[in-house]
Amino acid sequence: MSVSLLKKPQMHFGAITFFAKQHKDDVCGSNGLPLTPNSIIIYGRAQILKTIVNPYLCRYLDIIRGKHERTIAVSQYCGKPLSSFIEKSVFSFTDIKRIAYQVLQGLKELHSRNIVHHNLSSENILYENGNIKLFNYGLYYMTDNGKLVSFPIVQLLYTAPEVYLEEFKEIIANPKVDIWSLGIILAELTLNKLLWSSLILGQRIRKVLSLVQSTTSVFERIAREHNCYDRYQAIPADLKEIIEVCLNIYSEDRPTAAELLEKGIFDEFQVQKTDWLSLLKMYEIFTISELYYWWQLTGGDVLQELKRQGLIRSSPPILSLPHLVLIEGTILGQDRNPATLYDPKIVEMPMETLYERFKNISFSCYYPLIQTKSEIIAQSEPEPYDATGLPLVIKEKDPEYQFHRVILLRRLLHGYPFTRDLIVKEAEKDIPPLFRGDIWSALLNVRGDYERQYAKIDKATPTPTDRQIEVDIPRCHQYNELLSSMEGHKKLKRILKAWVNQNTQYVYWQGLDSLTAPFLYLNFNDEAKAFSCLSKFVPKYLHNFFLKDNSAVIEEYLAKFSQLIAFHDPVLANHLYEINFYPQLFAIPWFLTLFSPKTWPKKIQI
């Protein structure tokens, strides 16, 4: 059955929820504008996590803002926590080495992106059929190293001693804390023992801090305290060495994930690339991100599922008072109970409705042919999904229709630029919202090494237009959560500065930021592509609009606009003429932005 393709173990996802820290006293910043809510800052920072694709990391799918600074993170969730296997089934030493290798591969990917897990524990490692995936690795990063929330982002038992020693100081995220956590996890696996499980919170912290004064091996001391010394002695020397070096008290003495992967103990797990074909990116029929998109179209709702399972209540959690009171800009009342700000429970999303809706889709629909077809093959092909005559708004909400469009367009995008003509042909019908950014860039013929070209442009040197850009961005883009975030402001400013730097014949006019906004929104995690789309779009559709003296061009467009009004609505044209309300009074901003603030992000097409 074709639905079995949707039921793969890796195609499941779950959600966690937490509250961001609220602004209490200051409601405005130094620029006089309202302070950006911390949940919006988190929302902007978290977007980059959705670009991480690694076999040892759960993939982030969505970040959702709720009421009262609530944030919900949706990510891949497959397998069971590693902690559920400890003390119940014994892993062989080879299994433990494989787990260590896979965890290090995941950590290497994160650390190469300057992301520290800081929440690594056996609870946040999912295990299934001999393979692991790191889960919940983005919480520390998206909250700006924990600054944007009121609860500690640590697993107390697994946290390195230096974190406690610097508890009341601002510390820079250090990837070596993840190496300590790995050492504790491996100690649990090799000893087959959940460490200090009978101790209360304060006692656990004291146990970790007491290790600082250890005069012997930390691992040996842990084994003796848990009456596991015989098991400790039976551990192979190479594995014991890995655990010992991970549990060095001083972070500078711990190796990096990349250095640990070079140890001979992991040679048997290294994948040898034998030919150039193995270097090619494997084509996927569909991704878990696309499955999540279809799930939403078939009625899936993360918020409703969290409410159903009791993780979301109708009012924000506080200590005792039923409401917080705002008087003259000051919030009165007791703070939220810190214990309720983060719930570690993972809510898995039900998939039955999706499976039922897609059960009649034939297997061949997952592999549409896009080039030539013989008559024999054509006769065996399933009938195309008929959506003729349906309005675009209905097509975009139709799960089956979007399934067929997504499957077809992703194959075409995979073949771009060789399939550009087919992409243009299909885009004339409609563009799936999920692929709008990629299809727009294909229609604008963005190709080549645009990342390197964008990286070469100076986006840091101050220019005379910086002041106007800095004023326009925060006051003009509060209508969109993504663009109103700090990350959105930074990216928008860099793109505008790059455009002014690259196009010396033009100047920055108000409205260019609104024209840039849709391209950044659709390519938020690919700043270079957003810039390339803008650079292709302006000369094609707004030629000479941004000249220092663009009066002649504007007058030409205004004259054409007047003729269009007179042709399509003579009564309106005569009325506007009689009251002296000429297009010069209202239409110029429309041309400079191509109506973008009014039409996007819901219905924007080229």
The predicted-structure confidence for 570-590, as pLDDT tens digits, reads as follows: 999 999 999 999 888 888 777
Considering the chain, what percentage of its residues have pLDDT values greater than 90? 53
Ramachandran category for residue 130: left, alpha or beta (phi over 0 → left; psi -120 to 50 → alpha): left
pTM (2 d.p.) = 0.87
User: Is the pLDDT at 295 greater than 70, yes or no?
Assistant: yes
Residue 467, pLDDT > 80, answer yes
Return the pLDDT at 470. Answer: 87
Of the listed ranges 206-220, 383-397, 439-453, 565-579, the one predicted with least confidence: 206-220
pLDDT grade for 146, boundaries at 50, 70 and 90: confident
CA 376 to chain centre: 44
Instruction: Please give the pLDDT value at position 25.
Output: 61
Max mean pLDDT range (260-269, 313-322, 325-334, 476-485): 260-269
Classify burial at 82, counting beta carbons within 10 Å of its beta carbon; exposed 0-12, middle 13-18, buried 19 or more.
Answer: buried
- Name the more confident of 145 and 173: 145
Q: With a cut of 90, say whether residue 422 has pLDDT above it.
A: yes
**pLDDT given for residue 554 in this prediction:** 83
Report pLDDT for 1: 57
Tell me: the pLDDT tens digits for 52-99? 999 999 999 999 998 889 999 999 999 999 999 998 877 899 999 999
Q: DSSP state, 283?
A: P
Identify the pLDDT of residue 598. Answer: 43
Cβ 519 vs Cβ 598: under 8 Å? no
Does 2-270 carry CATH code 1.10.510.10?
Answer: yes
Q: What is the average per-residue pLDDT within 591-605?
A: 50
- pLDDT, residue 387, reads 83
Q: How far is CA 70 from CA 18, 123, 161, 396, 508, in A?
A: 6, 23, 31, 28, 38
The pLDDT score that the predictor gives to residue 599 is 44
pLDDT, position 164: 61
Neighbours of 315 (CB within 10 A): 9
389 φ/ψ sector (left φ>0, alpha ψ -120 to 50, else beta): left
Contact status, residue 141 vs residue 149, Cβ threshold 8 Å: no
For 1-10, 26-35, 61-70, 402-411, which range has the lowest pLDDT when averaged over its residues?
A: 26-35
As given in the structure block, the two tokens for residue 477 are: 């883009």
How much is the mean pLDDT over the chain? 85
342-348 and 60-65 strand pairing: unpaired
Residue ranges covered by each domain of the chain: 2-270
CB 567 within 8 A of CB 404: no
Residue 189 above 90 pLDDT?
A: yes
Q: Check pLDDT > 80 for residue 523.
A: yes
Band of pLDDT at residue 605, cut at 50, 70 and 90: very low
Does 271 or 475 have the greater pLDDT score? 475
**Tokens at 9, concatenated:** 């173990």
- What dihedral do alpha carbons 433, 439, 440, 443 form, nearest 10°? -150
Angle between helices 420-427 and 399-414 (to 10 degrees): 160
Distance CA 90, CA 192 (A): 7
For residues 548-554, average pLDDT: 82
pLDDT of 100 above 60: yes
Question: How many CB atoms lie under 10 A from the CB of residue 511?
Answer: 22
Q: Is residue 305 over pLDDT 80? A: yes
Cα dihedral 254/258/260/263 (nearest 10): -140
- To which H or E segment does residue 128 belong? strand 125-128
Distance CA 293, CA 322 (A): 37
Asked if 85 contacts 127 with a C-beta cutoff of 8 angstroms, the reply is yes
Strands (E), 297-369: 325-327, 330-332, 342-348
Residue 460 has pLDDT above 70, yes or no: yes
SS (H, E, C) 429-496: CCCCHHHHHHHHHHHCCCCCCHHHHHHHCCCCCCCCCHHHHHHHHHHHCCCCCCCCCHHHHHHHHHHH
What's the confidence (pLDDT) of residue 207?
78
Alpha helices in 113-217 (DSSP H): 139-142, 161-165, 176-191, 201-210
Instruction: Note whether 459 and 498 are within 8 A (CB).
Output: yes
CA angle 602, 603, 605 (to 5 degrees): 135
Please say if the pLDDT value at position 331 is more than 50.
no
At 274-289, the pLDDT tens digits run 555 555 567 788 999 9
Least confident of 333-337, 524-528, 598-602: 598-602
Tracing tokens 């979007």 back to the chain, one arrives at 402
pLDDT above 70 for 316? no
Average pLDDT over residues 455-473: 90
Q: Tell me: pLDDT of 44 over 50.
A: yes
How far is the CA of 214 from the CAs of 164, 183, 206, 211, 228, in angstroms?
Answer: 16, 16, 13, 5, 18
Full 3-state SS string of 49-116: HHHCCCCCECCEEEEEECCCCEEEEEEECCCEEHHHCCCCCCCCHHHHHHHHHHHHHHHHHHHHCCCC
Residue 169 scores a pLDDT above 80:
no
Worst-scoring range by mean pLDDT, 27-36, 229-238, 461-470, 506-515? Answer: 27-36
The structure tokens listed for 491 are 């990216």
8 Å CB contact between 188 and 195? yes
**Which distant-in-sequence residues (6+ apart) come within 8 Å of 252 by Cβ?**
176
pLDDT tens-digit readout, 360-418: 998 888 988 887 667 777 667 777 788 878 899 999 999 999 999 999 999 999 999 99
**pLDDT above 80: residue 152:** no
CA–CA dist 577, 482 (Å, integer): 41
CA dihedral over 344, 83, 160, 269, signed as positive or negative: negative
DSSP 594: T
Under the banding of pLDDT at 50, 70 and 90, the label for residue 150 is confident
Rounded CA separation 595/88 (Å): 62
